[in-house]
Chains A and B, each alone.
Chain A
Amino acid sequence: MPFLLVCLAFEFVPIIFLVRGSFIDKATQQFTLAHYQTMSRTIYVNSFVNSIKISGLTAIIGVVLGTLIGYAIYKLPSEGVKNALISLSDVTTNFSGAPLAFAFIIILGMNGVITQFVFKYFAYELYPNFSIYSFSGLALAYVYFQLPLMVLIIIPAFVGIKKEWQESAESLGANTFQFWWHIGIPVLGPSLLAGLTLLFANAYGAYATAYTLVESQLSLVTLQIGFMIAGEVRHDPGIGMAMAVLSLIIMGLSIAIYQITTSKVRRWSK
């Protein structure tokens, strides 16, 4: 089948070669673990720490705020407003890369709108304590596409919490907190976990936004791999491959958790 051949040619074979390449010494063509040992150097450790930190942080912020906002939207009485907000989330979660990074420079750059607003009305200088070209700046930009993605994931899950449950819990004397703690959150659990893993993977793999915003200020795994491909850093390609393989393992774990939890969600909603 041509479809499978194309998948083999452009996905599986290259990935297999990548994994193999990460264990091969280029000069001697012998098996080696040297590329993985190199990963303990500060620059690579930092890249992984930064990538995991920014993905974890923006995923947690996205899940918590996205769930609250999703609930606020879900509870709106007007179907029209609800659908408009869902469509907005659909559009904004796909707004990323260079246009997103640049929009954040316009509002929070050195001369950005908010930077000037804060200075004029609160007499506070954002810079140099804050910078859009830093970890916290990049996190703000990532939350921009994480938040609406979580809203889209969580709204269908609220539909699964039947009104009658809340009523019967109330008639049995449970207060709102008790209801959410004992019933709401456990029912939402799988969706929350699925959201967390998907948002994590979403941020971990991001490249274009980071490339535009923090290219050399912050070391991230995807940026490092990008430098190696573009030949901007002269390194043994094996090191890039080892980073790529470790990233595949991290992504694979999160996608696997996502798959398992969503199949659980499907079973629950039947």
Chain B
Amino acid sequence: MKNLSKTPIKPEKKDRTQAWQIILIALFLFYMLLPIFSTYVFSIATRWDRTILPEGYTFEYYGEATDASYFVSSLRNSMILSVSTILVSLVLIIPTVYWVFIRLPQARSFLDVLMILPFGIPTVVLALALVQVYNGTFIGRSPELLIGAVFIYSMPFMYRPIVNAMRSVDALTLTEAGQSLGATTLQVLLKVIIPNIYPGIISGSLLVFATVFAEFTLTKLILGARFKTFPLLLVEYTRINGNIAAAFSVISFSIAWLASILILWVGKKGQGSSAHTPHAH
């Protein structure tokens, strides 16, 4: 019988994997995985400074890490900071993007540029500017100032997924349909648009969460020791006890990876709205 499937007539030149490809990718994997792997091993090694492999293994550092003073309070502070930033971002960004979509499409490129700007401002510069302007005022060096700063720094991560989701559901048509049935714009936003763009909302929230949870620079420079978050505690321990610091690192990767896995999962369920936006380090 004749094969009726649409195979190309001329057999394509097969892309065989070549040796240079394998070597290059293997070296890349080695570079990317060795630091992570070593941190994991260091967190369970009894002693690992005289030998190539650790002298023994133990989980006691995790016990010490979770018993450390400030462990609970720093996790709590990081949570407070991440969740408040997510809430502020959602409340400010969703209505703005929606409004621009249905009323001011010509402002789209302006908004795009606005969202690129935070990448052009090094975090230390943002911190310096905020500290200089607000020092001595009621908001100076307060958690509220930090939330404002972290919001600016993380807003591109919320913006991209929301814009992609808003575009894919065709917000304008939905709004016109809703209004022709007598709904107000606010009703359409709350009852139609938001339930429809939730994959974007969740992706954006998780990206902001991952970014803010690991945030060190703004927190340290704006609040310093007054508001100890998890990354601040980690840095402190790199100078006190390496094994405990490694255990903290593992905890912080685990949280970040949980967020990444959820982002991938939500992205697959919804539409591909994950943004390869650069981070500031």
Contacts and interface: CB of A to CB of B under 8 A. Distances in A.
Interface of A: 1-4, 6-7, 9-11, 13-15, 17-18, 21, 68-69, 72-73, 75-77, 85, 87-107, 111, 113, 116-117, 120, 144-145, 147-149, 152-153, 198, 201-209, 211-212, 222, 225-226, 228-230, 237, 240-241, 244, 247-248, 251-252, 254-255, 259
Contacts of B276: 90, 152-153
Interface size class of B (residues with CB under 8 A): 35 or more
Given A13-B133, A208-B216, A111 B50 contact: yes
Given A10-B151, A93-B279, A111-B49, A244 B38 contact: no
Contacts, number: 234
Contacts of B126: 11, 14
A255 B280 contact: no
Given A6-B148, A11-B152, A116 B52 contact: yes
Interface string B132-152: 111000000000010011011
Contacts of A241: 128, 132
A218 to B, nearest CB: 15
A14 B120 contact: no
Contacts of A101: 238
Interface stretch (B68-76, B173-181, B245-253): B245-253
A202 B130 contact: no
B59 interface: no
A259 B35 contact: no
Given A88-B32, A97-B281, A247-B122, 19 more contacts: A14-B130, A14-B134, A17-B129, A69-B25, A76-B17, A87-B264, A91-B260, A95-B36, A106-B39, A111-B48, A201-B278, A202-B280, A204-B122, A208-B281, A211-B220, A225-B128, A226-B124, A244-B124, A248-B121
A241 B17 CA distance: 53
A96 B93 contact: no
Contact of B152 (A10, A145, A209, A252): A10
B21 A18 contact: no
Contacts of A211: 216-217, 220, 235
Contacts of A230: 220-221, 224
A73 B238 CA distance: 35
Contacts of A144: 31-32, 35
Contacts of A68: 24
A238 to B, nearest CB: 10
A113 B30 CA distance: 14
Contacts of B214: 94, 97
B217 A95 contact: no
25 contacts: A1-B99, A3-B92, A11-B117, A14-B129, A14-B134, A15-B125, A17-B133, A76-B17, A76-B21, A76-B25, A87-B264, A93-B279, A94-B279, A95-B36, A99-B253, A100-B35, A102-B245, A104-B35, A106-B39, A117-B52, A201-B119, A206-B280, A207-B217, A208-B281, A226-B127
Given A3-B92, A14-B130, A94-B256, A251 B121 contact: yes
A9 B28 CA distance: 43
A237 B252 CA distance: 34
- Across chains A and B, which 6 residue pairs bring their CB atoms closest together, nearest first? A103-B35, A205-B122, A14-B129, A111-B49, A10-B148, A96-B281
